Structure 1
Amino acid sequence: MINIVYSSDENFVPYLSVSLISFLEHNYSDFDKIVFYILDNGILDRSKEKLKILCEDFGSELYFIATSDIENKYNIKLDLGSRDSNSYPFSAYSRLFLSTLLDVDIKKVLYLDADSLVVGSFKELWEEDISSYLCAGVLDIINPVTKIESMIIGREDDPYINTGVLLINLDKWRFDNVEKKFIDFIEKYNDFNFLHADQSVLNAVFTDKSKILILNPEFNVTLSLYELEYKNISKYVVFDYYSKNVVEKAKKNPILHHATTTFYWGRPWVLGNIKIPYYDLYKKYAEKSPFKDRIYIKGKKLSLNEKFSEFLIKRVSPSFFIFLLKKKKKLNNFIK
């Protein structure tokens, strides 16, 4: 049996459905039972019913866990990371509280972001022994803003993982009382606008990186790996990153595509966004979704300034790009 956790609000349900379908098609024969838990931040009843039917068609189970009372329960305001009122939905923080949101008899879960497309089996990863680790995840690219965030909290040289795919040892989370550490961090930096919300929190709190098992990147291939050339990817990290061969292998043989926001490429559900290497594949699964009429949105053409910025990001040294950002006062919201 495998336990899978997603987090979503009503707006993201269409993309969640695509991820669910793709996961089931590639994994239903590898497990005797698949149980999904959706951290629910306002999903409508009619959408829940459609998602349940979708999963039942594959013989899997689906449960919704309300997250609306987390702020009241812990008496905290989860606005860390919201540079404007619409930057992050509340559901983006709920995975930090999995150790209490889920029953204590659930020892281990695989967390997946809803903006993912599964194209391979997670059987090998699920069977990985993480008894001595808090979690397992894939190294992320640190963009200029994230690099400055890391400097401010004193984690500049630490490995930084992307939390879109996490194999989580809930037993160890409970034993180490990590939720208390998350809350302490949020309260300390609640007036500070971090770029990646709960991802920033998790990387900052898990200071002992020996407790994080670093996975190969095929388990979480972000769009930035396609958008940037490897020589520039390696410039955005100060810790030991994957070799070029490892990255290229992951891009050719991914297990999960993670449709992260990129510098300028946009998402695979933007109509005509053929820059995305798996645009057609995403469309194939979108057509199977009961929410297919809500998935695609119109894109916008890049302005000359945006095209120039895209060129700088791809071709120019990250340190020089940071300098330009500072000159344009784009980071005033981050540096005090």
Structure 2
Amino acid sequence: MNEKINIVFACDSNYAQHATVAMMSILKNTAAPARIVFYLLDDQIDAAVKEKIQTSIEQAHAAIHFCEVEADRFEKFFVSGQLSRAAYFRLEMGHLLPSSVDKVIYLDCDLLVLDDITELWDYDINHHPLAAIMDLGIMASSKDWHGKQEQLGFSEDDIYFNSGVLVVDLKAWREHDYGRQAEQLAKENRYRHHDQDALNQLFHRDWQPVPLRWNVIPPVWYLFLKILKRRDFRRMAIEARKHISILHYAGGYKPWEYEVYTAFNAKYYEYLRQTEFRSVKMPQPDPRRKGRSIARQLRRLKLADFWQRFFTVV
């Protein structure tokens, strides 16, 4: 099959290196790199940085297109923590990508794809506008989940998804102007989880769940106690950890902020070395966030491995 696989990222110059590493992880784990077409929603990325991105991707036998975003339209949107306005750019996909593109995979920049992306592309979304992966971190937290139910109008039986990995029917997205609808919701509400909350409210009960291994976030990777305590969540998390298809470094601990630690970020450095960013100074700690010891994360991973073995045996 020669159908192109359209994959969307969004970033500024600060995250361009990491987006490129994520792209390289896709290309190195697919049997058909020539089918991959990347669309980078571009928040004023420097020309020299763009050249590095393009060279990296083309040398790996894939294509990339830069789509400039009218970033000023998001100037007054609520952001907090490490989030930048680029997080909202995915809402403009329908207007920024060529009209001939009617299906895309959207990915955050702080992740690694460790499986063949064609499997995610071929996943049946059952005529829904999008497919996504449930966010066990939020749903396993009594405080967070009750807050979402109250703010978004969800019930206890509903499912909340993480917006870092999405398979989108872009034709339906355009026909219903879903992007602008989500933007309006984001403007009217200071959502704690920003565009992710807006998308969850907009697509309430109208999205297709995808297996958890396609978006393994830290609460799943580390098997947080709040997940272990619920048998159904524990079972899903342990199964996802056995075969991680996408490892998503959501939250405060990013792989590029530390030296190489095999269990934590060796794969990031492996794919970095295969890009034109291989010679940049590493690690790249964020000066705004200090005192975050990697030792704690390594202990968490060891403990998670223990719990996985324990619950697999019992």
TM-score tier (shorter): 0.7 to 0.9
**Cα distance in 2, alignment partners of residues 14 and 259 from structure 1:** 15
- Rounded to whole Å, the distance in 1 between the matches of 2:167 and 2:111 is 15
| RMSD over equivalenced CA pairs, Å | 2.8
Name the structure 1 match of 2:236.
246
Measure how far apart 1:298 and its partner are: 4.2
Secondary structure, aligned partner of 1:221: coil
The whole-number CA distance in structure 1 between the counterparts of 2:281 and 2:84 is: 18
TM-score (norm 1): 0.76
Match of 1:283 among 259, 269, 276: 269
* Partner SS, residue 260 of structure 1: coil
Sequence identity (%): 26
Alignment partner of 1:11 is 2:14: yes
Q: Deviations over 1:153-176 (max 9, x none)?
A: 323533111111110001111222
- TM-score computed with the length of structure 2 as normaliser: 0.81
Cα deviation per residue 1:62-81 (whole Å; 9 max; x = unaligned)? 1100112561xxxx65422x
Aligned residue number for residue 198 of structure 1: 195
Q: Which residue of 2 aligns with 1:296?
A: 283
Is contact 1:147–1:156 with CA below 8 Å preserved after alignment? no
What amino acid sits opposite 1:255 in the alignment?
S
| Structure with the bigger percentage of helix | 2
Could you tell me which amino acid in structure 2 is paired with residue 58 of structure 1? A
Q: Distance in 1 between matches of 2:83 and 2:40?
A: 17
C-alpha distance 234-199 of structure 1, shift in aligned 2 (>3 A):
farther
2:176 corresponding residue in structure 1? 176
- Note if 1:57 corresponds to 2:59: yes
Amino acid at match of 2:154: R
Q: CA deviation at 1:60?
A: 1.0
Alignment equivalent of 1:79, drawn from 71, 77, 80: 77
Report the CA distance between 1:99 and its aligned residue: 1.2
Ranges in structure 2 where 5+ consecutive residues have no aligned partner: 304-314
- Output one character per residue of 1:211-241: Cα deviation in whole Å (capped at 9) or x when no partner: 2110001111112212343x51266x9xxx9
Contact residue 134 and residue 161 of structure 2 kept, 8 A: yes
Q: Which residue of 1 aligns with 2:48?
A: 46
- The 1:145–1:42 alpha-carbon spacing in structure 2 relative to 1, beyond 3 Å, is farther
Contact preservation (8 Å) 1:139, 1:161: yes
Letter in 1 for 2:268: Y
| 2:24 aligned residue | 21
Alignment of 1:1-336 (within 5 A): 1-27=4-30, 29-30=31-32, 32-69=34-71, 71=73, 77-80=75-78, 82-83=79-80, 87-130=82-125, 132-140=127-135, 141-142=137-138, 143=141, 144-145=143-144, 147-155=146-154, 157=156, 158-189=158-189, 192=190, 194-207=191-204, 209=205, 211-229=206-224, 231-233=225-227, 243-262=233-252, 266-272=253-259, 274=261, 277-292=263-278, 293-298=280-285, 300-301=290-291
Change (3 A) 1:226 1:127: closer
- Name the CA shift for 1:148/1:60 in 2 (closer, same or farther; >3 Å): same
Provide the secondary structure at the position in 1 that maps to 2:8: strand
Distance 1:32 1:116, change over 3 A: same
Gaps of 5+ in 1: 315-336
Q: How far apart, in 1, do the equivalents of 2:119 and 2:22 lie?
A: 19
Q: CA deviation at 1:107?
A: 0.7
